[in-house]
Amino acid sequence: MRVPAATRVTVTVTVTLAAVTLLLGGCSQAPAERLEEWYSSGGEEQIRKLNEDAGRVNEVSMRTIDVQGPACQDLLARTAEAEKLDPIPDEAAQRYWKEALGGFRRGAGECADGAAKKDGSQVSRGITAVQTEGLPKLVSTVSMIKAGLAHK
């Protein structure tokens, strides 16, 4: 007996859909595993570098503009790199991460712009933003990531 072509197509599509569903379902990762993957594939390194550059801005806050400006420019460049990373697969950590990057971008940008203009008060405002908006949010990001990884 010959099976009609329409029946063969329906059976093939059904079997294929079932296989795809099984594959996709079998590949799902736990939230902590996705977070670990993000962290180990560049996230940890970016956090460390951001912390170093922001720490340097903090460290030179009482120095002269010619020292502050380059530190702020470095942080601004590092922030741009970090913004290219995939989102953190943890909603709370991602929220803090975005806020940290925003604080670094605003603060370092204002500082670098002020340094180019030789405007000490603008440099100071920018450094203050790095210290009060960026750094605390980066600390919160790390805390959220550590908490998420502890559930692994």
| CATH code of residue 91 | 1.20.120
Amino acid at 2: R
d(CA 7, CA 52): 64
Tell me the C-alpha distance between 79 and 77, whole Å: 5
If one counts the domains in the chain, the total is: 1
What is the distance between the alpha carbons of residues 126 and 54, in angstroms, rounded to a whole number?
A: 12
pLDDT tens over the chain, length 152 residues: 555 555 444 433 333 333 333 334 445 678 889 999 999 999 999 999 999 999 999 999 999 999 999 999 999 999 999 999 999 999 999 999 999 999 999 999 999 999 999 999 999 999 999 999 999 999 999 999 999 998 76
Is 48 part of a structural domain of the chain? yes
- What pTM value is reported for the model? 0.80
24 membership: H or E segment, kind and range: helix 5-26
Domain hosting residue 115, numbered range: 30-150
